Amino acid sequence: MKKKMTKTPRNKFTGILGGWDEIIRCGECGFSLHVPIDSKSAERVAYRAIPDLGSLFAKLLNQIEKNFSVGNPSENLAVSNWRLRLAPDLDEDKSPLEKRLEKRFVELSKPTGPLAGWFNQIPAASGYFDPRKNRKNSIDLVYETRTGKEYEFIELKLDPTSGWPFYATFEILSYGFLFLFTRIDPELQKRFEDATEEQRVLKAEKIRLIVLAPESYFSESEQGVRGLEEFQGS
């Protein structure tokens, strides 16, 4: 009888976030997963687990620090990242419904539109590891609740085709950790010391991390996602 080969789950986090999948899947402080973290199987297993979130979060931040130290960061990373903008060209990896909704936000947030303080596709990691990596790591929506003071980072989901709630939570967490790392790392502090007005988010006093989705998105999860409608941090 031939021995069945076990496939290594594909990684969703790469570049500056490389190693995150393994940390999240590990049994020591993570969720003891043997499947891709964006799968429905991961969703099912994860919510039976009791991870050590303090240790898990410390390892995730430490992994970013390690990756940055061994990488070849772009000389222009301070120009391309953390700019509050309206970007009509949307990520092709998003579901058609998500792209349409985000485009509507862009239209309503233009200077002549009825909404103010909304921005989309904010680059948060481009060039952090090397000039070619993490170009698609952009925050779906950013809402400026208090100019230069308070912001909401929003991961937009409409259906599980672009990731189940468990994975969506770590997507938005990754932007929170990248923001924190940018604020505390001495080299990045120096690179962003001349941040422009468009990059005023880097001086924020409070950041909230949110997975924004209709109730139907969360209800499709077998576990009801137990409070993952909104992950908040500051």
**What average pLDDT does the structure give for the chain?**
86
Condensed to tens digits (0 to 9), the pLDDT of residues 2-21 reads 444 445 557 899 999 999 99
Using CA atoms, how far residue 204 sits from 74, 131, 178, 207, in Å, is 24, 26, 14, 7
Number of H-type helices and E-type strands within the chain: 8, 4
Condensed to tens digits (0 to 9), the pLDDT of residues 154-189 reads 999 988 877 888 999 999 999 999 999 999 999 999
Condensed to tens digits (0 to 9), the pLDDT of residues 100-134 reads 888 888 888 887 778 889 999 999 999 999 998 99
| pLDDT at 232 (0 to 100) | 40
CB 212 within 8 A of CB 154: yes
Mean pLDDT of 37-47: 86
pTM of the predicted protein model: 0.86
Condensed to tens digits (0 to 9), the pLDDT of residues 128-145 reads 999 989 988 999 999 999
